[in-house]
Structure 1
């Protein structure tokens, strides 16, 4: 008898779980708002970002020049800058005010200022200074201008050294100016492309943020449709905490298993981005990340009482989360508080682990810190989801009991009035 009752409980639990899963999938595809965040945004956002940065690097950034030196060495320096593939000297201005006007009008993105004493300082054997002003609305413009100016300065410095050495052989000049020859190559991103650097991190973040928004909107919809603004309906299928949490999370996992395959595999393939991950390693890493994101989103959805609230709460967090992950800003420069704060979010470990697996060919052993952290987050957020959903179940039962009591009181009053 005990065996039969146990089997009955298991069968009922599984039946309830799959019923909740099917019902959640049905709600997702019926709700246009949730469908946008679960399907449309993950399909289009990666393409949008990849299209924007598909050129990888910025070439021929227009710049203005203010040359108060008007010497042969200053002109030579400017020719070296203009000869680089990154910068194009578009205008020669009489003063800084004229150059600033060009920046304001958007005709140039930077100003190269050479002071009057530039050639005199060099002739006297002193250090000369060149000022570089840049429109910081585009970091790639700043990088192009800075690298071009730096390389031109190094070349001028090398030529000055050769002149001062006097009558020497070509080999002696080479040894004295460059005792050790080297060729700088960026590891895992030899073309210094912005897309190869940023897009993998953005793809991982899109998964977390769309889950937060979609699950939050679904929770807001459930509360708006409920008479008592409860997250869990008073229904016989919605009785056990585990079956509710597992049923809902299974529905989201089924959707995002397909979405993640598209975002992490198809999109990089379309735009020829770096993709050297082993399929088994990538699958093993993405599973705990998806679970952590789903349970984290379900826990956070407890705070959403209206459909629109999730957009106001979560959308603005995307950029800060990208910065504190340590990808777009050096991890060593992030303050300890923000570094610890970033551990709350699955995206921190997901971004760092995925970039190392996808772009650097790392194995699970190489990213074991991130891998174990994601499983830990999945476990912790699963427990928190169960706790908040258990509270919601009890709240829903309390409201159902109150409703029954009110109905009984109304019936009693109705009977009394009939007798009277």
Structure 2
């Protein structure tokens, strides 16, 4: 008898779990707002970001030149800068004031100032100076101009040294001017692209933020449709905490298994981004990340009492979470308080782990810290979700009992009035 009752309990538990899962899936696909956050935003946002950064790097930055030397050597230096892929010499100005005007009007993003003594100083063996002014509101403009001007000066310096040495062979001149030859190799981001650097972090953050918004919107809808503003309805299937939490989480996981595969696998492939992850490693890492995000979102949904609240609470957190993750801003430079605060969010470990797996080819043991942290977050947020929903079940029962009590009192009052 005990075995039969245990089997019946287990059967009822699984039946309730799958019923709740089916109901939640129906609610997701019937609610346009939730559907937008669960499907449209995860499908469209990665494409928008990827299209914006398709060019990866900034090329042909418009620059103005103020050449007060106006000699063959200064013109050669200018041609060397213009020949680079990063900079385009758009204007030649008479003085700095004219160049500043062009900067203010954003017709150019940088100035190269060559003094009158440029060629004279070099000819007399003195050191000369070329000044570079750049619009620092765009760091990529600064990078392009500084790299182009630095490479041009290094090339010109080498040519000047070779002329002064006057060795017999070209090879001797090369060895004399550059005894140690260096080679610049960009690891894990060979094209030095902005999309390859930033997009993997954004993709992982999209998964967390859309889950927060979608689950929050669903919770707000459930409360608005309930007479007592309860999150959990009174029903025979909605009796156990585990089955409610498990059923809802299973519904979200089924949706986001497809969404995550699209975001992490298909989007980088569509835009030819760096993608050297081992499929088994990526799958093993993505599972705890999605689960941690789901239970984190379900725990946070307790604060949502209206549909609109989730957008006001969660949307603004995206940019701060990206910064404190340690990707867009170096993790070593993040203050200790904010670094500790970032450990509350699955995105911190998810972003760092995914970048190392996808862009650097790391294996699971090499991201073991992030992998363990995500499983710990999954367990912790599963426990907090159970506490939250247990509390909601108790409140729903109390409200149901109050409603029954009120109904009985009304019946007694109406009966007494009839007897009188």
Which TM-score tier does this pair reach, normalised by the shorter chain? over 0.9
CA distance in 2, matches of 1:10, 1:260: 31
| TM-score of the superposed pair, with normalisation by structure 2 | 0.94
Matching residue of 1:355: 355
Matching residue of 2:203: 203
The number of equivalent residue pairs is: 420
Deviations 1:247-296 (A, max 9, x none): 10000000000111111111122122222222211111100010011011
CA distance in 2, matches of 1:348, 1:116: 53
Deviations 1:73-106 (A, max 9, x none): 4333222111101100101122333223323333
CA distance in 2, matches of 1:366, 1:309: 39
Deviations 1:146-201 (A, max 9, x none): 21122122223333433444556533432232221122111122121222222222
Q: Alpha carbons of 1:4 and 1:63: their partners in 2 closer, same or farther (altered >3 Å)?
A: same
Per mean C-alpha deviation after superposition, the further-off stretch among 326-335 and 213-222 is: 326-335
CA distance in 2, matches of 1:123, 1:307: 74
Matching residue of 2:297: 297
CA distance in 2, matches of 1:108, 1:241: 63
CA distance in 1, matches of 2:127, 2:244: 71
Deviations 1:26-59 (A, max 9, x none): 0000000100010001111111111122222222
Per mean C-alpha deviation after superposition, the further-off stretch among 136-145 and 271-280 is: 136-145
1:194 aligns with 2:194: yes
Shift of 1:123: 5.7
Matching residue of 2:238: 238
CA distance in 1, matches of 2:100, 2:277: 47
Shift of 1:337: 2.0
Matching residue of 1:84: 84
Shift of 1:234: 2.1
CA distance in 1, matches of 2:226, 2:125: 81
Matching residue of 1:309: 309
Gaps of 5+ in 2: none
Per mean C-alpha deviation after superposition, the further-off stretch among 309-318 and 241-250 is: 309-318
CA distance in 1, matches of 2:308, 2:258: 26
Shift of 1:115: 4.4
1:402 aligns with 2:402: yes
Q: How does 1:202-281 map to 2 (within 5 A)?
A: 202-281=202-281
1:335 aligns with 2:344: no
Q: 2:89 is paired with a residue of what secondary structure? A: strand
Matching residue of 1:59: 59
2:205–2:351: 8 Å Cα contact kept in structure 1?
yes
Matching residue of 1:97: 97
Shift of 1:21: 0.5
Q: 2:58 is paired with a residue of what secondary structure? A: coil
Q: 1:89 is paired with a residue of what secondary structure? A: strand
Per mean C-alpha deviation after superposition, the further-off stretch among 253-262 and 229-238 is: 229-238
2:274–2:359: 8 Å Cα contact kept in structure 1?
yes
Deviations 1:119-146 (A, max 9, x none): 5665665654433333344432222112
Per mean C-alpha deviation after superposition, the further-off stretch among 337-346 and 369-378 is: 337-346
2:167–2:173: 8 Å Cα contact kept in structure 1?
no
Q: Alpha carbons of 1:177 and 1:281: their partners in 2 closer, same or farther (altered >3 Å)?
A: same
Per mean C-alpha deviation after superposition, the further-off stretch among 352-361 and 29-38 is: 352-361
CA distance in 2, matches of 1:229, 1:116: 78
Matching residue of 2:367: 367
CA distance in 2, matches of 1:196, 1:81: 26
CA distance in 2, matches of 1:320, 1:377: 20
Matching residue of 2:393: 393
Matching residue of 1:139: 139
Matching residue of 2:346: 346
RMSD: 2.0
Per mean C-alpha deviation after superposition, the further-off stretch among 258-267 and 99-108 is: 99-108
CA distance in 2, matches of 1:162, 1:148: 22
Q: 1:292 is paired with a residue of what secondary structure? A: helix
Deviations 1:388-409 (A, max 9, x none): 1111111222222222222222
Matching residue of 1:35: 35
Q: Alpha carbons of 1:224 and 1:137: their partners in 2 closer, same or farther (altered >3 Å)?
A: farther
CA distance in 2, matches of 1:156, 1:311: 56
Gaps of 5+ in 1: none
Q: Alpha carbons of 1:257 and 1:332: their partners in 2 closer, same or farther (altered >3 Å)?
A: same
Q: Alpha carbons of 1:368 and 1:412: their partners in 2 closer, same or farther (altered >3 Å)?
A: same
